[in-house]
Structure 1
Amino acid sequence: MAPIAEKKIIPMLDIKAQHEPLKDEIRTALKEILDSGRFILGKNVDSLESEIASYLGANHAVGLASGTDALYLSLRALDIKQGDEVITTPFSFIATAEAITYVGAKPVFVDIDNDTLNMDMAKVEEKITKNTKAIIVVHLFGLPADMNELAAIAKKYNLKIIEDCAQAFGAKYRNASVGSLGDCGCFSFYPSKNLGAYGDGGMLTTNSPDINEKVRVLRNHGTVGAYKHDFIGYNSRLDEIQAAILRIKLRHIDEYNGRRQQIAQIYSSLLNDVVTCPVTMDDRTHVFHQYTLRSSQRDMIAQALQENSVSSVVYYPLPMHLQVAFKYLGHKEGDFPRSEAAAKEVMSIPIYPELGTDTAEFIAKTIVQTFKK
């Protein structure tokens, strides 16, 4: 008897499908690098920095080893240190708050807006103290936060703004790209991102020549000349192979993001009556790193998707203020009720440029069908 073929699982993303049409160009680029013998901070890194700065409308871009490093080195470049406080959201990946602890500062959480899942700007001012030095704002799942309102608060209290753009490459707020609106923009090129490398990578963007220069020194052990170090730096250098791959994929980013938006429209048109769909807003461009819906019936939906070989993931099941790692901050359940409620209801379903329309419709209809049983 012939073996029964396993049903193919619909993944959250399909990196292999994205690689296929690019593989010849990528192989050519990799051969050039291997033949050159230059693997760290070479011409591809220089070119990628220039191309990303131009694409985003920022004056400078600095290639780094990861998005987490971009957050950390932003704080270092802004002289955030022991005893300082940095405001951020509890509803994000841990790296956002983790980086604050790296410099000895204290993360101060502000609850989220129910609709956007981004930090609620109306709650920021009440968390500002004499020790507050900066705000890390996250453009969660690809939707820009309200930067005009945040900029007004930052100006009033003389605070620095760091944009966590890890999930939002190509997103725009009032026609300006995220990463060009604060003092620093921090990007991750982790393979699952909208613009993803084939390993770890990150980028810091800024309009400040001073921050640009300081981060360039910091990323390379504080080097100011041949074996001369004016201060303790860090090892966070983007390699040539990742830069070359990212340069190729950067040329397709508008196409990739546009297709994500089309899939999101398909989902929302079919799901709007049964779940809470992600919001879109006239003054900002959502690039849908994740398509994250909300439902009190999340477990039922996840089970139905699993039975139909469809992947789903919960981002994020436990807000940061309730993580054991941040127990020392003294928070308890109920401190940030909107983040806690979201953690119990959110779920993300597959979205990537190569996802077929028929497949997207099948996923949405599978969810709708669970409410008819």
Structure 2
Amino acid sequence: MIPLFKVAMSEEAPDRVAEVLRCGQLEHGPRVEEFEAALSERLGNPLVTAVNCGTSGLHLALSLVAGQYGGSGGAHEDTGEVLATPLTFEGTNWPILAHGMRIRWVDVDPETLNMDLDDLERKISPSTKAIMVVHWLGYPVDLDRLRGIVDRAERRLGFRPPVIEDCAQAWGATYRGLPLGNHGNTCVYSFQAIKLLTCGGGGLVVLPEEELHRRAVLRRWFGIDRAADRVHGDYDVPEWGFRFPMNDTAAAVGLANLDIVDPLLARHRENAAHYDKELAGVPGVELTERADDREPSFWAYPLKVEDRDAFTRKLAERGIMTSLISRRNDEHTCVAPYRSELPGLDRIQDRIIYVPVGWWLTEEDRSHIVDVIRSGW
């Protein structure tokens, strides 16, 4: 079976992890700082904070830009709402609930599978605490258009709704020639096991301002300044925080994999370009948008197909794995009070499917996938 995902691991990773284990400093050691420095250089933004997973990063980001965890005025305080997309993994949206805030669902653009920015603009209100966008499968949201929407909201409402970009699937993606994390918003990457750049588990929060970065560094570890004199108990916690730091073994894995990730990313893009060419116009298949101003990472390859059940059966019979990746989040029981009409997502929810596009595909694998799809189902 041709897999949909596969773990990319440098041959150098075991030796780097062994060095950490031998030194005996598994947490709060030098490897995380070294990894952060390397990521800063790669992204072109020095304001980065490594955490233990992408979901922790979203928790931290929400706490920084949308108010204190759980609110600060008591159990009955209206802590506001976060505008979010239901077409994502649950790890994007459950931090909103953990912060005691409501989710207000924004529709999905059938062309991009990202948030429908027209619907977003309609739904920004005085209750909006934050906007959570997802670069789904590593296809960047139109960030210039999003900035214009937020500019207009600021003029209308008298405050600027903060934007958090979930970049979990988007390592290496660019918008207008710049890596995600350079467009004025708080961004969160994931380095989970099957991400293109993996630490086995980990994440990164990328901040747009020095003050937010300073707070993020403190709040990822209980709000405690690690440079303070804790031996004599002579330190203060002005703003409490979480226990979200990345450990040094994860950072060692990440450093090793950072050395190999660029050619892997290039292979994802090469495979996607092949599909774009060979599957265009195939009966029963519709491709998603490709805009000239952005370069996706193609964590997986999306298709909109007719008779999805027959399509998945045909590919499985021919040894090709497919997946829905995640259920639309608004259908879960735990968010039933927030359900709303989402006609864009409704039109495509039964047609979306994802096929393998990764670095592990041989040219024979890639041709086989194309031939099977072109043969019909």
The reply to whether TM is greater than 0.5 is: yes
Q: Which one-letter code corresponds to 2:309 in the other structure?
A: D
1:232 aligns with 2:224: no
What is the Cα deviation at residue 297 of structure 1?
2.0
Give the equivalent residue in structure 2 for 1:178. 180
Q: Which one-letter code corresponds to 1:280 in the other structure?
A: R
1:324 aligns with 2:311: no
Task: Report the count of equivalent residues.
Answer: 353
What is the Cα deviation at residue 120 of structure 1?
1.4
* Residue among 36, 48, 55 paired with 1:49: 36
What is the Cα deviation at residue 231 of structure 1?
3.4
Q: What is the aligned-residue RMSD (CA, Å)?
A: 1.6
Partner Cα distance (2:331, 2:223) in 1: 36
Q: Greater relative contact order: 1 or 2 (C-alpha under 8 angstroms, separation 6 or more)?
A: 2
Give the equivalent residue in structure 2 for 1:191. 193
| 8 Å CA contact 2:188, 2:206 repeated in 1 | yes
* Residue among 314, 324, 338 paired with 1:314: 324
Give the equivalent residue in structure 1 for 2:6. 14
What is the Cα deviation at residue 273 of structure 1?
2.1
| 8 Å CA contact 2:66, 2:129 repeated in 1 | no
Partner Cα distance (1:124, 1:29) in 2: 45
Partner Cα distance (2:137, 2:248) in 1: 28
Partner deviation per Cα, 1:275-313 (whole Å, 9 max, x = no partner): 112322100001101101111221111101111121110
| 8 Å CA contact 1:86, 1:133 repeated in 2 | yes
What SS does the corresponding residue of 2:286 show, helix, strand or coil?
coil
1:80 aligns with 2:80: no
1:337 aligns with 2:343: yes
Give TM-score, length-normalised by structure 2.
Answer: 0.90
% identical aligned pairs:
27
Structure 1 residue ranges, 4+ long, deviating more than 3 angstroms after superposition: none
Bigger mean CA offset, 318-327 vs 292-301: 318-327
Q: Which one-letter code corresponds to 1:286 in the other structure?
A: P
What SS does the corresponding residue of 1:229 show, helix, strand or coil?
coil
What is the Cα deviation at residue 117 of structure 1?
0.8
What is the Cα deviation at residue 340 of structure 1?
2.5
| 8 Å CA contact 1:74, 1:162 repeated in 2 | yes
Partner Cα distance (1:62, 1:307) in 2: 45
| 8 Å CA contact 1:270, 1:365 repeated in 2 | no
Correspondence list, 1:234-313, <5 A: 234-274=242-282, 275-313=285-323
Q: Which runs of 5+ in 2 are unaligned?
A: 72-78, 155-159
What SS does the corresponding residue of 2:302 show, helix, strand or coil?
strand
What is the Cα deviation at residue 361 of structure 1?
0.8
Give the equivalent residue in structure 1 for 2:224. 223
| 8 Å CA contact 1:163, 1:182 repeated in 2 | no
Give TM-score, length-normalised by structure 1.
Answer: 0.90
| 8 Å CA contact 2:13, 2:257 repeated in 1 | no
Q: Which runs of 5+ in 1 are unaligned?
A: 1-8
